[in-house]
Chains A and B, each alone.
Chain A
Amino acid sequence: MINFTEVMETNAMIEKENLDVRTITLGISLLDCMDSELSELNRKIYDKITKTAKGLVETGMQIEKEFGIPVVNKRISVTPIALVGGAACKSEGDFVEIAKTLDAAAKAVGVNFIGGYSALVSKGMTAADRFLMESVPQALATTERVCSSVNVGSTKTGINMDAVRLMGEIVKKTAEHTKEQDSLGCAKLVIFCNAPDDNPFMAGAFHGVTEADAVINVGVSGPGVVKKALESARGKDFETLCETIKKTAFKITRVGQLVAKEASKRLGIPFGIVDLSLAPTPAIGDSVAEILQEMGLAYPGAPGTTAALALLNDQVKKGGVMASSYVGGLSGAFIPVSEDQGMIDAVQAGCLTLEKLEAMTCVCSVGLDMIAIPGDVADTTISGIIADEMAIGMINQKTTAVRVIPVIGKGVGDIVEFGGLLGYAPVMPVNSFSCEAFIRRGGRIPAPIHSFKN
């Protein structure tokens, strides 16, 4: 039988260390909504989303109440819209209409984000893919809850450099379209290499074409719990450090597994995966940076940071895999800047640079995330940053992503306020030497030698 200490331990994690279920994300396939008439397509999309996700928010709230664990976000991911809208959309404007439909459906069912305004172009772009990508600035400026992602490379296909070049321009245009809100649109746009089909975390969530009609994916988080557990391992060797992280990750993931199963049962929708990601928020004690500091670094960015993060990411995965039969998504440690008070402090102290963050992305679970850069950075420089990050993903057979925000009208040292979970960030300097001739070459970077495994 459960004892007093165990109950108190669980409740302390929830109440004092910010353990929470970060998101229950309902993946919905829109493949059966395809139509050559735009108005008909929009009607079908709206109906399918509102029907499938009808009980999502309420179920999330019920689970929160009965188990006493916060379920912070209820969200939806859909089939990449470039595929769904291919037959109906003859222009960028047509795709924007779909974005508005997604936004309306999200509002109708009460979810705070809907992901999947996406294109998968790791090898090439169809006309529809290109329309969708070019519509992103407008779509993100005219909607509130829609999130967009574009997969521009993979280990199997190489990197689509035409798409990388285009996305550099799109990021900049998105910033300009939302400049009144400190270029907030870019916080809802992710460029991926090796994007997973079942990621429940925004802004990069979409419902892959390999998935079932509807599926429940759960993202669970708790950097504060890991930090607290590591306080007991101060001064101990690496074996103790790793064991502590692994055990904690196990416990956290078990909660995710429980919530995922319960949500699946109550909604009558199959359970997909649990994604254990240490996803920080701007709240004190909910920081990945603080874990790195607890390990013995003055600030993230100091020498040793990449090793510390590699260890953390690996142990989180090991603990998580033991706790759930279906671990998926991104699972590991996120290192966003604006959403993590410890990372912001490190930037302000002059310890953390964009280049060090890039090195850290080789071993974290995603990539360059929520980084504010000056608004006058060249499009091709943004493309260069994307290309570097995609190369890391392609060669290392891992997911990498870029979510940078060129804040129009702001320069290095200025502070940008995004609000809520997105936090605030100091604008970071970017290497200003040109890569224009490289980016303008066009074409593809071939898949690496180790991708030929057949």
Chain B
Amino acid sequence: MNKAIITVVGQDQVGIIAKVCTYLADNKVNILDISQTIVSGYFNMMMIVDTNGASKEFGVVSGELEALGETIGVVIKAQREDIFDMMHRI
């Protein structure tokens, strides 16, 4: 398994999750977990995904998700899980 964390932050609107999930499905990235909240109109989502079977290099996926975020008007970041593991787990 090759886990990554995707975060989506921005103004809430219809279809954010749909658009992100469609992109992930199209590129064979498997979603393991989703958590989402809305704080005073602000949309916050975190996904844990497995990029093992992905059809593109992770750097490319990360760049394309960032670009997708720009078209929706939210900030999307995809980062390897290791950076969070290293920082928060001993």
- Cβ contact within 8 Å between A66 and B84: no
CB atoms of B33 and A7 under 8 A apart: no
Q: Which of A4, A6, A66, A254 has the most CB of B within 10 A?
A: A66
Binary interface encoding of chain A residues 1-13 relative to chain B, with 1 for a CB under 8 A from any of its CBs, else 0: 1101011111100
Q: Are A4 and B46 in contact (CB under 8 A)?
A: yes
Chain A CB count within 10 A is highest, among B37, B59, B83, for: B83
Which residues of B in the span 49-90 have a Cβ within 8 Å of any Cβ on A? 58-59, 62-63, 77-89
Question: Which of B33, B77, B85 lies in contact with A11, CB distance below 8 A?
Answer: B77
Which residues from chain B contact A65 at a C-beta distance below 8 Å? 59, 62-63
The docked-state distance in angstroms from the alpha carbon of A41 to that of B83 is 42
B59 touches A2 (CB 8 A): no
Q: Which of A4, A8, A62, A258 contacts B83 (CB 8 A)?
A: A258
Q: Mark B20-61, 1 if CB is under 8 A from A, else 0.
A: 000000000000010101000000101010000000001100
User: B86–A2 contact, CB under 8 A?
Assistant: no
A69 CB-CB contact with B under 8 Å: yes
In the complex, what residue of chain B is closest to A322 when comparing beta carbons? B90
Q: Does B7 contact A (CB under 8 A)?
A: yes
Among residues of A, the one whose C-beta sits closest to the C-beta of B37 is: A4
The reply to whether B33 and A66 form a contact with Cβ atoms under 8 Å apart is: no
State in angstroms the CA–CA spacing of A7 and B84 once bound together.
6
Contact of B7 among A11, A66, A69 (CB under 8 A): A11
The smallest beta-carbon distance between B61 and chain A, in angstroms, is 10
**A337 CA to B7 CA in the complex, in Å?**
37
- Contact between B79 and A67 (Cβ–Cβ < 8 Å)? yes
B46 with A1: CB separation less than 8 A: no
The reply to whether A258 and B82 contact each other, CB–CB distance below 8 Å, is: yes
Residue of A nearest to B45 (CB): A4
Bound state CA distance, A360 and B37, in angstroms? 47
Within 8 A of B (CB), among A4-59: 4, 6-11
Asked whether A147 is an interface residue with its Cβ less than 8 Å from the other chain, the reply is no
Distance A155 CA – B84 CA, assembled complex (angstroms): 41
- Chain B residue nearest to A262 in the complex (CB): B82
Q: A1-B48, A65-B62, A257-B86 are in contact. Are A7 and B80 (CB under 8 A)?
A: no
Check if A68 is an interface residue, CB within 8 A of chain B.
yes
Of A1, A8, A66, A254, which one neighbours B87 at CB under 8 angstroms? A254
Contact at B48–A66, with CB atoms within 8 Å? no
Residues of B within 8 A of A (CB): 5, 7, 33, 35, 37, 44, 46, 48, 58-59, 62-63, 77-89
Q: 10 nearest interchain CB pairs?
A: A68-B79, A254-B86, A258-B86, A6-B88, A2-B84, A67-B83, A65-B59, A251-B87, A254-B87, A4-B46
27 contacts between A and B (CB under 8 A): A2-B5, A2-B48, A2-B81, A2-B85, A2-B88, A2-B89, A4-B44, A6-B87, A7-B5, A7-B46, A9-B88, A10-B83, A10-B84, A11-B77, A65-B59, A66-B58, A66-B59, A66-B79, A66-B80, A67-B82, A68-B62, A68-B77, A68-B79, A69-B83, A258-B83, A258-B86, A262-B82
